[in-house]
Structure 1
Amino acid sequence: MHNADSLAKPSVATPGADRGALFGRLMDIRISFIPLPVYLVLLALVAGLSLTKELKADLPTMVAIIGLGGATCGEIGKRLPFFGKIGGAAIVSAFLPSYLVSVGWVPQDIIAPVTTFTKSSNFIYLFVSSVVVGSIFTMDRNLIIKGFAKIFVPLLVGSVLALFAGVAVGMLCGLELRQVLFFVIVPVMGGGLGEGAIPLSVGYGEILGMDSGKILAQLLPIILLGNLCAILACGALDLLGKRYPQLTGNGRLQRLEVPQDGDKVGVEKETRFDGQTVNQVIAAGMCAITLYLAGVLLHALFGLPGPVCMLFLAVLLKLFNAVPERLEAGAQVLFKFFTTCVTYPLLFANSIAVTHWSELTAAFHVGNVLTIVTTVLTLVLTGLVIARKMGMYPIETAIVNGCHSGLGGTGDIAILTAANRMQLLPFAQISTRIGGAITVMGALLILANLPPV
């Protein structure tokens, strides 16, 4: 009877329980990846530190600032009409901070430490290393063997067609052949800043007897605009994949092959993280750092691009079955963490420290714009068309081809974020780094052997 009476009594919610439930609901509201209460407190703390001139370029402070900035830009971009569906978050994170700096809306107390931290820490390579290792280690060996070999065909065909199409459009717009070829198309497909624009400017300067600094200033807006076009094009490809699911592997490059026993081949392994394997994540992280340093050493010894060396070392480990399943599980969590929580802060930091708005707007000449758009779209459409004949997914192949016009590692990240295909970063690195290196070397050889004007 006592138990029945107690069950019959209506439960009375205590004020403390209501407050706890309210706080829990607020914590479920997120600005990108940051819970709303934490976001507001961080915002107040950063404002207070700025007013007291205590903002420094140390790691905890910078994590707060670029985390806030990246989360804010990502959230704004996702909510933009139309653009939110074709990579608005990546576009806003990569370019809005640069614009705000140009109009003086970002305090110098924030610009200076963010620039110092971004350039001194070089944490983009930590991101690339972790994502590449996470992606490669969790791929199926068959996918790697077939996919890496096949990607060169659409990349080569796309580059040749983009070259001719870009030259035709540029000359129709009144640009001279040398100008449109060497100062518009080649920079777009040259691999970004460090591996593309800088070597090109030095080489052009020596061949033409011009100041390399002035040439670099001319090339920078071209590659920035090319990267923006690639972001928009690959964001649109993501929409196309949602409209026509048969065209996409949702991050898989190689089409599924079903042998007679019914087992699928060429699918990335979906390993699960059970919460008890923190050591596996740490091990995967240390593998990423180890491979990155190995790439740095190979670059110092032989002059090979460090990121490409790191990529091929990771591929070799996978091909020789040197990656145990436990490490694959850790690599998958590492991959998800960096792609979820570090992408937008990275783009935000680079936008403030590296991207100059005046350089971007300098490229908005009608002839330049039409040539760049033609070059990028030809790359993308070639991948889309050739993919079926190569046994690959059209959307993913087109996105990898589009990365050939990316702004190096940062550009690849922005493009793949817009396309929701960060799993393709290893292939994008080949498209950008190797494709860019071949483009730069070929352009310098041709220009050196042309008669002077």
Structure 2
Amino acid sequence: MKACTKLNENKGFQIMGISLPVFSVLTVVILVATFMGALPKGMIGAFPLMMIVGAILNEVGNRLPIVKDYLGGGAIIVIFGSAALVTYGGLPETSKEIMTNFMKGEGFLSFYIAALITGSILGMNRKLLISASVRYLPVILGGVVAAIGLTGLVGMIMGYGAKEAIFYVAIPIMGGGMGAGAVPLSQIFGQTLNVDPAQMMSKMVPALALGNAMAIVVAGLLDKVGKKNSSLSGNGKLMKSQEEVKEEKQVEIKLDYALMGIGILISTTFFVWGNILAKFIPIHSYALMIISVAVVKVLGIIPEKYEKGAFQWFRFVMTNFTPALLVGIGVAYTDLNAVINSLSVIYIVLVFMTVLGATIGSGFVGRLLGFYPIEAAITGGLCMANMGGTGDVAVLSAAKRMELMPFAQISSRIGGAFMLILATSLLSFFL
């Protein structure tokens, strides 16, 4: 007879791939330590608490009908839920301090961003990246210019302020989501304007949530418009010439722990390199890191094996650490009271103007360049205005055009990176 009985590993309901009984035991241990004041300081305490809270709130958000379909799903619930927990005393103050210090003082946020940016760009097909730069980026640029211009104009007319509307509504919405968009943008704004990044984040998060919801709704409407006006739609084909840019099949490299270790070194080194360049070039280090990674990818400087390592590490971080990061954003960077106070009729109108501008701008430029306007508006406009990867899936599902995912990914990855560079340049111009 065995000395102990294994915990029941049934194949039913799971969280984080863990059966409910096991996850419950882990949760109880972490929460007891949290409320007893026995949670260790540093990453050893912050990591399990943020992962547990993030996993639970993410599961809730992905199951709430309206939230999962129109408001970004788990991501929004994790951010606002964790912010509410610390704001209204759901978690002790000591746990807030541990998580905040882990995010800010110990650099978890920068660590995540480095993995995300480096791995996502190095993981793209090189030919797709080059072709997209020539043939597809103008479509994205058209949407960005129209979104910023229209939002700034309406902001000025309604008394909100053109600069405020552009920087706190249009740019965050068009920034490529949360992890690769709003998070680094808040850091860029905070450092450039000499204000707390948490204040910036509190202004950006509502815009992202509303923008994502409106982008999904507009995608569904564009599908209906395309069915009534066949000349405007390619029914899932982006270019009228049929010479579509497609990702080539690449040889899969099996998961390799040594390669992931190389990925850690490469991503953090690119982050450090961005900081070195920032000492000589008056551009934010994030933007310089993005440019450096893109140049290295286009020139084929790094062997493919190491690119795969960076990509594998990025996927590992994104899969396992994203809910935890979103908890950190909610706790350390989201002032819930400021978020509530920022919501108004004017604010909602400005968010809609951003999504509308992105749609019209991308559709118009796309038509000039030989793209179908509906598909150009969906991929180059709405997939810039949504919340990154999850937003891409939701938008393309609503538009019934999932085959456009490669272009949606270009919008989220390269387009989002472009917005960080643009934001840095605009801040320098207006200051």
Global fold match (TM > 0.5): yes
- For the pair 1:91 / 2:76, whether they are aligned, the reply is yes
Local SS of the residue matching 1:226: helix
Residue 348 (structure 1) aligns with: 327
Local SS of the residue matching 1:25: coil
Residue 340 (structure 1) shift: 1.5
Work out which of the residue numbers 36, 40, 59 in structure 2 matches 1:75.
59
Residue 4 (structure 1) aligns with: none
Q: Whole-Å Cα distance in 2 between the matches of residues 74 and 368 of structure 1?
A: 26
Residue 301 (structure 2) aligns with: 322
The within-5 A match list for 1:19-418 is 23-26=8-11, 29-86=13-70, 87-150=72-135, 152-167=137-152, 169-170=154-155, 175-176=158-159, 179-190=160-171, 192-196=185-189, 199=192, 201=193, 222-234=203-215, 266-267=246-247, 269-275=249-255, 277-383=256-362, 386-387=365-366, 390=369, 394=376, 395-399=378-382, 401-402=384-385, 414-418=387-391
- For the pair 1:426 / 2:413, whether they are aligned, the reply is yes
Local SS of the residue matching 1:121: coil
Runs of 4 or more above 6 Å deviation:
216-220, 237-249, 254-259
Residue 427 (structure 2) aligns with: 440
Contact 1:233 1:377 in 2 (8 A): no
Distance 1:66 1:377, change over 3 A: farther
Identical counterparts, % of pairs: 20
Task: Give deviations 1:220-260, integer Å, cap 9, x for gaps.
Answer: 654333222233245557878999997769xxxx979988x
Distance 1:326 1:193, change over 3 A: closer
Unpaired runs of 5+ residues, structure 1, are 1-14, 203-211, 404-413, 445-453
Q: Whole-Å Cα distance in 1 between the matches of residues 310 and 368 of structure 2?
A: 32
Residue 163 (structure 1) shift: 4.2
Task: Give deviations 1:269-321, integer Å, cap 9, x for gaps.
Answer: 5442434x322222122111111111111112323221222222222222222
Residue 361 (structure 1) shift: 1.2
TM-score by length of 2: 0.77
Contact 1:158 1:382 in 2 (8 A): yes
Q: Whole-Å Cα distance in 1 between the matches of residues 210 and 327 of structure 2?
A: 18
Local SS of the residue matching 1:182: helix
Distance 1:265 1:418, change over 3 A: closer
Q: Whole-Å Cα distance in 2 between the matches of residues 237 and 343 of structure 1?
A: 27
Q: Which has the larger radius of gyration?
A: 1
Q: Whole-Å Cα distance in 2 between the matches of residues 342 and 90 of structure 1?
A: 12
Task: Give deviations 1:26-62, integer Å, cap 9, x for gaps.
Answer: 5x64214444333212211112212331113322221
Structure 2: which amino acid aligns with 1:226? A
Structure 2: which amino acid aligns with 1:402? A
Residue 3 (structure 1) aligns with: none
Q: Whole-Å Cα distance in 1 between the matches of residues 268 and 323 of structure 2?
A: 21
Unpaired runs of 5+ residues, structure 2, are 173-184, 227-232, 394-404
Distance 1:49 1:197, change over 3 A: closer
Residue 194 (structure 1) shift: 2.9
Distance 1:32 1:268, change over 3 A: farther
Q: Whole-Å Cα distance in 2 between the matches of residues 256 and 68 of structure 1?
A: 48
Q: Whole-Å Cα distance in 2 between the matches of residues 318 and 337 of structure 1?
A: 20
Contact 1:89 1:418 in 2 (8 A): no
Contact 1:184 1:371 in 2 (8 A): yes
Contact 1:76 1:89 in 2 (8 A): yes
Q: Whole-Å Cα distance in 2 between the matches of residues 230 and 193 of structure 1?
A: 17
Task: Give deviations 1:149-204, integer Å, cap 9, x for gaps.
Answer: 455533443344334533554466xx33xx431222333245632323663x56xx
Q: Whole-Å Cα distance in 2 between the matches of residues 346 and 54 of structure 1?
A: 22
Contact 2:115 2:314 in 1 (8 A): yes
Q: Whole-Å Cα distance in 1 between the matches of residues 223 and 25 of structure 2?
A: 37
Distance 1:56 1:24, change over 3 A: closer
Distance 1:33 1:340, change over 3 A: farther
What's the RMSD between the two structures over aligned residues? 3.7
Distance 1:121 1:419, change over 3 A: farther
